[in-house]
Amino acid sequence: MPETRVLFRDIDAPGLATIQGYRDRGGYGALKRALHELEPDELLSSLEDSGLRGRGGAGFSMGKKGSFLPRGEMEKYLCCNADESEPGAFKDRELMQKNPHQLIEGCAIASLAVGATYAFVFIRGEYWEIADILDRAVGEAYDAGYLGADILDTGVRVELIVHRGAGAYICGEETALLDALEGKRGNPRLKPPFPAIQGLYGGPTLINNVETLSNVPHIVNNGADWFKGFGSEQSTGTKVVSVSGCVQRPGNYEIELGIPSREIIYGLAGGPPKGRRVKAWFPGGSSAPVLTEADLDLPYTFEDLAKAGSMLGSGSIIVADDTISIPELALRTARFYHHESCGKCTPCREGTNWTTKMLDRVVRGEATPMDLEIIAGVQEKIIGHCLCVLGDSMAMPVGSMVAKFRDEFEATIEAAREAGHGALDHSPLDRPLTTGAQAA
Ligand SMILES: Cc1cc2nc3c(=O)[nH]c(=O)nc-3n(C[C@H](O)[C@H](O)[C@H](O)COP(=O)(O)O)c2cc1C
Ligand code: SF4
């Protein structure tokens, strides 16, 4: 099954990243239409009617979220979340690198829709080359009159600022992002109040992902019904999916939502190397509960993945084939979240630390099968009890791995115990993932 390219149309065309290249393909036509033909409320209704759901993780309706911002004269803000730090996610990077004006146009239109004067793109620190590309494109948009104090001589003001983060995964959480933008340490805030009511500098703020905002010009140009023509009833449009791990053709693929997951993993990404099979896969980044080979025919939609006990999240598929040790994969996953936990709340701070230590003991042969019960129980106690969902983001995949691959965890403990307690004198994290047998 081929890709369905909307955001990725002409993505590799030379010059697309320049304003001329973008305008040659109809770029900034949607902004003109939004300025001259549509009222902000019509823009918001069209976004809501399109069914566009956030592409950054939670999958909430963009138009609905925009409608939560109060009307009135107070200063409002738009924040584009370009932090993209979750393992497996790399779609926003390509969208910004190769088509920055699509995002800038989306930010300008979304700002008009909610009445925001200032828009910020919060980009992860490690994407410094992409930030330079964005800065250049923003400069071109200012020069052409698409941004600034009086855009296209309409008296409407939209300023856009590219802000570089400092490389912390937690700053992708929307309220930590706001604190970081304000110059504080990026720690999540207690919600409510939600950013739509009290966000950046205390003002109403719409926060959306790069891909979500990149869809906006297409919806304004073609209409909500056109957008709904792609995908399923609850998952409309296309999705840029990042596929990585044990596949022959890793990369970003834009698909129509609803195609079988197998088509993405095998058809587009080539499946695992010859002779191997899919053992586990994360359908929505490392924070999604893992699925197995038996789930490969699930339609790739928010609702179908949720029904199967996982989630679409940011749309990042990570594939583990039968050479991968699931206990080691669980350990690596836990260690990432432990490292990135901001430490503000106890279940996450202590739970990620403790889980990492226990999984390390499993892999080293210092655990007992009873410890698996405790590990599983602790994940259940973390889920739903943290200030933000970073704690759940570890507990959900780790819990799913222990539940679905219990036999392998037990075999790993047994094999490592037979080899002698502490037989593994190095950290298993110092080398590539292997099978349990090789690890022992
Ligand atoms: C720990 C953590 C990290 C996150 N990182 C990102 C990120 O890098 N990019 C992103 O768009 N959303 C990220 N999110 C989700 C955001 O909090 C928020 O839901 C999203 O930016 C909203 O945009 P959307 O509705 O367009 O998806 C993260 C959430 C958490 C809890
Ligand atoms: S869940 Fe983790 S990252 Fe989120 S606030 Fe609590 S300690 Fe910080």
- CA 67 to chain centroid: 23
User: E strand or H helix at 122, and its extent?
Assistant: strand 118-123
pLDDT of 183-212, one tens digit each? Answer: 999 999 999 999 999 999 999 999 999 999
Q: In terms of C-beta distances under 8 Å and separation of at least 24 residues, what long-range contacts does 143-148 make, across chains too? A: 144/19, 144/28, 146/28, 146/31, 146/104, 146/105, 146/108, 147/104, 147/108
pLDDT of 299-320, one tens digit each? Answer: 999 999 999 999 999 999 999 9
Please name which ligand lies nearest the alpha carbon of 57: 1
Q: How far is the CA of 392 from the centre of ligand 2 (A)?
A: 9
Q: Which residues contact 95 (CB under 8 A, 6 or more apart)?
A: 7, 102, 103, 210, 211, 214, 240
pLDDT of 377-414, one tens digit each? Answer: 999 999 999 999 999 999 999 999 999 999 999 999 98
- 424: pLDDT strictly greater than 60: no
Ligand 2 atom with the shortest distance to the CA of 340: 3
Average pLDDT, the chain: 95
- 440: pLDDT strictly greater than 50: no
- 439: pLDDT strictly greater than 50: no
Q: How far is the CA of 344 from the centre of ligand 2 (A)?
A: 5
- 437: pLDDT strictly greater than 50: no
Q: In terms of C-beta distances under 8 Å and separation of at least 24 residues, what long-range contacts does 68-72 make, across chains too? A: 68/194, 68/196, 68/197, 69/114, 69/115, 69/196, 69/197, 69/204, 69/205, 69/206, 70/197, 70/204, 71/115
DSSP single-letter state for residue 238: E
**What is the mean pLDDT of the segment spanning 423-437?**
54
Q: Model confidence at 432, in pLDDT bands (50, 70, 90)?
A: low
d(CA 21, CA 41): 31
Q: 133-148: string of b/e by CB count within 10 Å (b at 16+)? A: bbbebbebbbebebbb
- 291: pLDDT strictly greater than 90: yes
- CA 57 to chain centroid: 5
User: E strand or H helix at 207, and its extent?
Assistant: strand 205-209
What's residue 394's pLDDT? 98
Q: How far is the CA of 106 from the centre of ligand 1 (A)?
A: 17
Q: How far is the CA of 354 from the centre of ligand 1 (A)?
A: 25
- 124: pLDDT strictly greater than 50: yes
Amino acid at 119: A
Instruction: Tell me which residue has its CA closest to atom 4 in ligand 2.
Output: 388
The four Cα atoms 431, 433, 434, 440 give a dihedral, to 10 degrees, of 60
**Ligand 2 pocket, Cβ-based, cut-off 6 angstroms:** 170, 188, 341-345, 348-349, 386-388, 390-391
What's residue 421's pLDDT? 55
Please name which ligand lies nearest the alpha carbon of 382: 2
Ligand 2 atom with the shortest distance to the CA of 346: 7
Ligand 1 atom with the shortest distance to the CA of 176: 17
Ligand 2 atom with the shortest distance to the CA of 389: 1
**Ligand 1 pocket, Cβ-based, cut-off 6 angstroms:** 54-58, 60, 81, 83-86, 169-170, 172-174, 207-209, 212, 388-390
Q: How many residues does the chain have?
A: 440
Q: How far is the CA of 328 from the centre of ligand 1 (A)?
A: 26
Q: How far is the CA of 285 from the centre of ligand 2 (A)?
A: 18
What's residue 1's pLDDT? 65
Q: How far is the CA of 84 from the centre of ligand 1 (A)?
A: 8
Ligand 1 atom with the shortest distance to the CA of 175: 17
Q: Model confidence at 2, in pLDDT bands (50, 70, 90)?
A: confident
Q: Model confidence at 431, in pLDDT bands (50, 70, 90)?
A: low
**What is the mean pLDDT of the segment spanning 82-88?**
97
Question: Which domains occur in the chain, in start order?
Answer: 19-228 (3.40.50.11540), 239-321 (3.10.20.600), 326-439 (1.20.1440.230)
d(CA 52, CA 72): 25
Instruction: Tell me which residue has its CA closest to atom 6 in ligand 2.
Output: 345
- 375: pLDDT strictly greater than 70: yes
pLDDT of 37-51, one tens digit each? Answer: 999 999 999 999 999
